[in-house]
Amino acid sequence: MALLETIDVVKRFGGLTAVNKVAISIEKGKIVSIIGPNGAGKTTFFNSMTGIYHPEEGKILFNDRPLHGLRPDQIAARGISRTFQNIRLFANMTVIENILVGMHIHLKQSPLQTLLHLPTFKNEERDSEKRAEELMLYVGLKGIGNELAKNLPYGGQRRLEIARALAADPLMLLLDEPAAGMNPQETEDVTRLFRHIRDDKGITILLIEHDMRVVMNISEMIYVMDHGEKIAEGTPAQIRSDSRVIEAYLGRGAVAGQHEEKIK
Amino acid sequence: MVTSFSQNILKRLDQGICPYILVLFHMTMGSLLVYLYPRSNLAFLVLITSFFSLYYFNTHRLFKLATGVILTLLIFPVVGVRNIFYLEVIFQISVFSALALGLNIVVGFAGLLDLGYVAFYAVGAYLWAFFGSQQYYILHYAPGTQPSGLPFLLPGDAFYLFIFVAILIAALTGILLGTPVLRLRGDYLAIVTLGFGEVIRVLANNLDKPLNFTNGPQGITPIQRPTMPHFAVDSFNALFSNIVGHRVSAADMYNVMFYFFALIVIVVIVFVTRRLDDSKIGRAWTAIREDETAAIAMGVPLVKMKLAAFAVGASFAGAMGVLLAGSRTFISPESFSFMQSIGVLSMVILGGSGSIPGVILGAATVTILNLQVLQGLSLYLSQLRQSDAVIPIIHFAWANLSTQLDPAKYQRMLFGLILVLMMIFRPAGLIPSKRRKRELSSEANVIEE
């Protein structure tokens, strides 16, 4: 059964069609990647799924329910959690607070309980703090719960963003270039982490990634986008030998080369 | 070198019994000075600052609490009654502290720049001004033409009820204003709230026709006060008339009472702010301030949370408005100009946006600068002007100095300077806000390792 299904999603910015009739279908519990050259519309597609943009045409079904017209926070409450291409942590909040914000949708404390510090409030805070610490350990952050997020090293910030997304207890995790800017060792570590997340928690993962080692290593299904369109889909092996994909990646360079020669 | 040296000394002084002695010394010195020189601004400053040395130095919580209570509930009112001008300063500091703390929720926590905050203050003030005066009976008279001897609509004691009514109404106004406005971000929000602040003031100015709700620019007066229990005046006199030096009238006692009311509001605000800050709501506010896009992607409902911030901030201003109407017994649109909003904002920024002690310090500093320093300078200048003194070297007679150079007229420049200088040199404020450190088990592990 497909957990997430998009049917011919179109997103335009004025005259530019950034996402053109993209249809994907993601099975529950799978790790799926979207790849494609820069400007292919991958992040726009992500943003359309998470409610930051509203697609002009097409349908997005999550758990068989349409996401059309929902706000990002409502979509998050449905069980889609995400990270951002250019890390977007709450820089001046502590690590633990960042994770606690991720739990927002699950916290039931009412204003009255908060003001009076009723036992329900205190218990919930204690439990969520404990869970936040577990998540920190899970993603490999230890003993820095009181550090401000902005003071973390780059890799730590990436991990914290993943922990924050996990805190929402999502059904599906959207990761936008999670390995960008990481060294090979770090890349290997987070790749392992993604597999753990899927295996331990059963969370479906959809990732945009440029690093082919990551993509080919963990993806069970790959979609390839170019110029806003889906040009291929399949297993890593199929994608590797797909002529259109090779053309999209290598052919573009060749075309550009010819173009430059013409100008000369 | 000099800074590290002075820091070293401060650190030394902040250990063991030293801070206790320092704080008590500061406090008694202040009280003594004010007692000996009841007209000296400087003496008063020494006393007021002792409150902040109490905050700054590292003493036991109970000591802080007890000393703070003695200062605010005993020394300040007694000193204030001795020189009624001091009481006015203290009262204004507490009013503006409360306002600044309310604005701090909107600007400091949620990061929504509200330039029309004083509008909510006006809502509270006019609410009690209307129901606590004869205004209801002169709805059909143009301002100034009403017959004399009209009754009051409600008894003065309804004042207490109206503090709560104003909290509700101001919160509702906040939500009403916020609903269309909070989709805007940053500068746009600032401009629209600025407009809203002006709308409320203009409304107050013009709602004297067709029905006379606000009495227009003349303002509403008299506004009732709650009845003062007689034993309060008597017992105060019995206890303190020796120190004060004269018998305290009921009118002076009213000022003390309103000062206490303002203190209660401050305590409530600080309590509510701290509890909220440390919960799902407060974290959501800070998250919105830090990054709206990320916050909403994490499931924080932006509009709802922003509305909550607006409503909570507004409700405090509403309560303070009722206090203002009651304490002044007179309200006019002038009290709610744009400059007031800017003044409160500069207090928040000076003190430290998001920091409770900072905001109170900011409110105290700006109020003292306004009421004491600038006016003190003005007084000094006008004395010089009346004397035959001449500025040496350039041979300029003080008497020829233009009245345009009167420091009291430079309040706006002061606000501007504060905002600009703070942005350049200390954007986080005098006492920057700190995130709470939690006791985490994983932290403990690290220390053990």
Same structural domain for residues B112 and B226?
yes
Same structural domain for residues B183 and B271?
yes
Instruction: Give the nearest partner residue to B435 out of A94, A109, A137, using CB atoms.
Output: A94
Is B358 within the bounds of a domain?
A: no
Q: Are B322 and B316 in contact (CB under 8 A)?
A: no
Each residue's pLDDT, cut to its tens digit, for chain B (449 residues) gives 566 777 777 777 777 788 888 889 998 888 888 888 877 888 888 888 888 888 888 888 888 899 999 988 988 888 888 888 888 899 999 999 999 999 999 999 999 999 999 999 999 999 999 999 988 888 888 887 888 888 888 888 999 999 999 999 999 999 998 888 878 887 898 999 999 999 999 999 999 888 889 988 999 988 999 988 778 888 888 888 777 777 888 888 888 899 999 999 999 999 999 999 999 999 999 999 999 999 999 999 999 999 999 999 999 999 999 999 999 999 999 989 998 999 999 999 999 999 999 999 999 999 998 888 888 888 888 888 888 777 778 878 877 777 777 777 787 888 888 888 888 998 889 989 888 778 777 665 544 43
What per-residue confidence (pLDDT) applies to B263?
A: 94
From chain A, the residues in CB contact with B271 under 8 A are: 115
Q: Are B328 and B126 in contact (CB under 8 A)?
A: no
What per-residue confidence (pLDDT) applies to B448?
A: 42
Same structural domain for residues B31 and B109?
no
From chain B, the residues in CB contact with A77 under 8 A are: 299
Q: Where are the domains of chain A?
A: 1-79+170-264, 88-169
Crossing angle of helices B186-206/B118-131, nearest 10°?
Answer: 20
Interchain proximity A146–B443, CB inside 8 Å: yes
> Residue A264 pLDDT > 60, yes or no?
no
CA distance B201 to B340: 11
Same structural domain for residues B51 and B153?
no
Interchain proximity B279–A81, CB inside 8 Å: no
Interchain proximity A97–B435, CB inside 8 Å: yes
What per-residue confidence (pLDDT) applies to B210?
A: 83
**Which stretch of DSSP H or E encloses residue B334?**
none
Same structural domain for residues B68 and B186?
no
Q: Which of B325, B351, B377 is the last residue of a domain?
A: B351
Same structural domain for residues B120 and B70?
no
Exposed, middle or buried, A256 (CB in 10 Å: 0-12/13-18/19+)?
exposed
Report ipTM (2 d.p.).
0.90
Is B425 within the bounds of a domain?
A: no
> What are the residues facing A31 on neighbouring strands?
A205
pLDDT digits (tens, 9 = 90+) for A105-146: 999 999 999 999 999 999 999 999 999 999 999 999 988 999
Interchain proximity B438–A143, CB inside 8 Å: no
Strand A172-176 to strand B390-391: parallel, antiparallel, or no bridges (unpaired)? unpaired
Q: Which range of residues forms the domain containing residue B11?
A: 1-82
Interchain proximity A90–B443, CB inside 8 Å: no
Q: Are B387 and B373 in contact (CB under 8 A)?
A: no
Is B255 within the bounds of a domain?
A: yes
Same structural domain for residues B163 and B69?
no
| pTM confidence score | 0.89
What per-residue confidence (pLDDT) applies to A262?
A: 47
Is B346 within the bounds of a domain?
A: yes
From chain B, the residues in CB contact with A72 under 8 A are: 296-297
Is B69 within the bounds of a domain?
A: yes
Tell me which residues of chain A have a C-beta less than 8 Å from any C-beta of chain B.
50, 52, 71-73, 76-77, 81-82, 84, 88-94, 96-97, 100-102, 104-105, 107, 109, 111, 114-115, 117, 121, 125, 129-130, 133, 136-137, 142-143, 145-146, 148, 164-165, 168
Is B383 within the bounds of a domain?
A: no
CA distance A253 to B8: 64
Question: Rg of chain B over CA atoms, in angstroms?
Answer: 24
Angle at B431 between CA B428 and CA B434, to 5 degrees: 75
Same structural domain for residues B161 and B18?
no
Tokens 């130095």 -> residue: B57
Write the class of the CATH domain A1-79+170-264: alpha beta
Report how many domains make up chain B.
2
**Closest-CA residue to A98 (of B295, B444, B442):** B295
Query: Which one has a higher pLDDT value, B443 or A203?
Result: A203
Is B334 within the bounds of a domain?
A: yes
Q: How many CB atoms lie within 10 A of CB A21?
A: 15
**Closest-CA residue to A242 (of A228, A256, A224, A226):** A224
One CATH from 3.40.30.10, 3.40.50.300, 2.60.40.10, 1.10.540.10 for A88-169: 3.40.50.300
Q: Which of B297, B330, B351 is the last residue of a domain?
A: B351
Mutate to test the interface with B, among A114, A133, A162 (most CBs of B within 10 A): A114
Determine what percent of chain B falls in helix, strand and coil, rounding each to the nearest 5. Answer: 75, 0, 25
Interchain proximity B299–A168, CB inside 8 Å: yes
Q: Which residues, 6+ apart, have CB-to-CB distance to A115 below 8 Å?
A: B271, B272, B275, B276
Interchain proximity A143–B443, CB inside 8 Å: yes
What per-residue confidence (pLDDT) applies to B34?
A: 85
Is B223 within the bounds of a domain?
A: yes
CA distance B97 to B265: 10
The reply to whether A88-169 shares the fold of A1-79+170-264 is yes
Same structural domain for residues B312 and B238?
yes
Query: Which one has a higher pLDDT value, A207 or B416?
Result: A207
Determine what percent of chain A falls in helix, strand and coil, rounding each to the nearest 5. Answer: 45, 25, 30
Same structural domain for residues B30 and B114?
no
Question: From the centroid of its chain, how far is CA B47?
Answer: 19
Interchain proximity A93–B286, CB inside 8 Å: yes
